[in-house]
């Protein structure tokens, strides 16, 4: 398992390096915006990986609620996945919320506007930040249940964020992927976007895996301490 982890890390570093090269030097300069458009190659993949993380957190939270009585070990694993993906999702969502205004200021002339896409993304970030705060400051099995419910309700905002610039006329640019007629990206810009998507997805999987491993170890230690407090002979016999 460790060997696979190191191999995955090596592939990820290579992908990130190549993605960085394509984003800054490989892709052509956009005709109207100029070099500032290159933020797009980090902004969009970060949003994609963040949303994928929240989707996995949503599914793992459902699994936790379904298994918490019948299959406790699987439920704990699902809970660890939900936490790891939510945490990594918040990191990616933070990148999206910072790189967006850094692009907007030179292009729009403003850092921020309360349009549907930007506002729903900020709400998404706030929901998952409160999820992490709940997990940080509350304790016990009830906390896990409450957190799972919050992750499920929180995910409902992801389709709203995704569809917001399709449903409403927003300041945020029209969708590049699946945006319908007259939308899309110049063919010469696709490699930079796709390689960066692959690279940041690989990075996301790597850190989610690492975070999951840390959380599982914490759960096992906590379980041992609880068992020991209940009956010290249980651990000696184990």
Q: Which residues pair with 34 in a beta bridge?
A: 30
Here's the x/- map for other proteins, 183-212, by CB under 8 A: it reads as: --------------------x---x--xx-
Q: Which C-beta is closer to other proteins: that of 99 or that of 145?
A: 99
86 in contact with other proteins (CB under 8 A): no
Q: At its nearest, how many Å lie between other proteins and the CB of residue 128? A: 14
Here's the x/- map for other proteins, 148-187, by CB under 8 A: it reads as: ----------------------------------------
Burial state string for 131-140 with b = 16 or more CB within 10 A and e = fewer than 16: beeebeeeee
Tell me the DSSP string of 142-166: HHHHHHHHHHHHHHTHHHHHHHHHH
Candidates 10, 14, 98, 133; binder of other proteins (CB under 8 A) is 98
Q: How many residues bind other proteins (CB under 8 A)?
A: 35
71 in contact with other proteins (CB under 8 A): no
Tell me the DSSP string of 75-140: HHHHHHHHHHHHHHHHHHHHHHHHHHHHHHHHHHSSS----HHHHHHHHHHHHHHHHHHHHHH--S
46 in contact with other proteins (CB under 8 A): yes
């Amino acid at each position: 398992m460790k060997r696979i982890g190191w191999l995955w890390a090596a592939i990820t570093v290579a992908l990130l390096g190549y993605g960085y090269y394509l984003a800054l030097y490989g892709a052509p300069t956009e005709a109207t915006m100029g070099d500032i458009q290159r933020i797009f190659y980090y902004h969009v993949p970060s949003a994609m990986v963040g949303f994928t993380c929240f989707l996995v957190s949503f599914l793992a939270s459902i699994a936790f609620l379904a298994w918490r009585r019948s299959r406790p070990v699987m439920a704990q694993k699902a809970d660890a996945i939900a936490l790891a993906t939510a945490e990594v999702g918040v990191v990616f969502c933070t990148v999206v919320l910072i790189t967006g205004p850094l692009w907007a200021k030179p292009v729009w002339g403003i850092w921020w506007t309360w349009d549907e896409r930007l506002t729903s993304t900020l709400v998404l970030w706030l929901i998952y930040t409160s999820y992490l705060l709940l997990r940080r400051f509350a304790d016990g099995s009830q906390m896990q249940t409450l957190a799972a419910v919050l992750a499920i309700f929180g995910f409902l905002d992801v389709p709203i964020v995704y569809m917001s610039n399709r449903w409403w006329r927003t300041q945020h640019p029209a969708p590049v992927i699946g945006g319908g007629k007259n939308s899309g990206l110049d063919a010469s810009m696709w490699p930079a976007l796709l390689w960066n998507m692959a690279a940041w997805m690989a990075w996301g999987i790597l850190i989610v895996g690492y975070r999951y491993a840390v959380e599982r170890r914490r759960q096992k230690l906590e379980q041992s301490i609880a068992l020991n407090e209940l009956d010290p002979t249980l651990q000696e016999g184990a």
